[in-house]
Structure 1
């Protein structure tokens, strides 16, 4: 093969590899988007009317709730959240809609309330360990702390009076 063809093929291969590498690298930095929960249709939500609808009609229109209250008031919650994150970071909520439908004791819709992302509580953890009250033990105390406790009086082992064996004369 002539030298010009070999050079053009090698440049084409290098360009292809470089192009694929840039495509993969740029895709790795793209934000990941996710949706969790209920898919809210505004027309269906607006059709639920307090004093008119009941549990059965709400279930037919909106489907089963994301969360239903277990104690006290009869409330159904429909939650939808859109999150974004880059690479391996924790997802951050960008939008959230929580639809709360309250029922009276007879099962009729009492109220429909909508809240957004402002209701999300951010909980910061306290380090990687849970603080406890009491003595703090070190590595060697954890490792060797039980030496001498096996077979102690009342422990049930040999010499501990636990009656583990028969008396022989």
Structure 2
């Protein structure tokens, strides 16, 4: 009787170990400022220095001197043997004018592989550094088998 109980416990333990490998695991990367932090930044008044004081140093910035700051956060899901995939991405883009004054604050999210504005606060209408954001999201969901046909 004792041997069958031990064997049953071992089988249940082994089954639990096997099933635990089938649970999705999530990893978060990067940093995006909270909305209450962003509300402290006033377009047309604040500068690069005050942005860094309020929300911190950006994940990346534009190579142009009048370019913007970008805060990027991604959530990755790993499941069993499958390749990890991006399930959520959020970008806060803060643009500056030539004098280093905040021109606008925009928040973007990942939806079906396209850039989707979630919120936007700007002082003027301009194209800005949207090219960087499009390049950042551009490879997600953009390839199909037709691209590789001969």
TM-score by length of 2: 0.71
Select the structure of larger CA radius of gyration.
1
Contact 2:95–2:104, Cα closer than 8 Å, also in 1: yes
Q: Answer 1 or 2: which has greater strand percent.
A: 2
Note the residue ranges of structure 1 that are not aligned, 5 or more in a row: 1-6, 127-169
Matches within 5 A, 1:43-58: 43-58=36-51
Q: 1:108: which partner in 2?
A: 101
Contact 2:66–2:99, Cα closer than 8 Å, also in 1: no
Contact 2:32–2:91, Cα closer than 8 Å, also in 1: no
- In the alignment, structure 1 residue 88 sits paired with structure 2 residue 66: no
**Aligned with 1:42 (options 35, 38, 47):** 35
1:79 Cα shift?
A: 0.4
Secondary structure of the residue aligned to 1:60 is helix
Alpha-carbon distance between aligned partners in 2 of 1:89 and 1:66, rounded to the nearest angstrom:
28
Matches within 5 A, 1:13-162: 13-71=6-64, 73-118=66-111, 119=115, 120-121=137-138, 122=140, 123-124=142-143
Contact 2:27–2:75, Cα closer than 8 Å, also in 1: yes
Contact 1:50–1:108, Cα closer than 8 Å, also in 2: yes
Cα deviations by residue, 1:27-57 (Å, 9 ceiling, x for unpaired): 1110110111114322112222211211111
1:11 Cα shift?
A: 2.1
Equivalent pairs counted in the alignment come to 121
* Alpha-carbon RMSD: 2.2
Cα deviations by residue, 1:37-84 (Å, 9 ceiling, x for unpaired): 114322112222211211111101111101111136421000011121
Compared with structure 1, are the counterparts of its residues 40 and 21 closer, same or farther at alpha carbon in structure 2 (3 Å cutoff)?
Answer: farther
TM-score by length of 1: 0.63
Alpha-carbon distance between aligned partners in 2 of 1:36 and 1:96, rounded to the nearest angstrom:
9
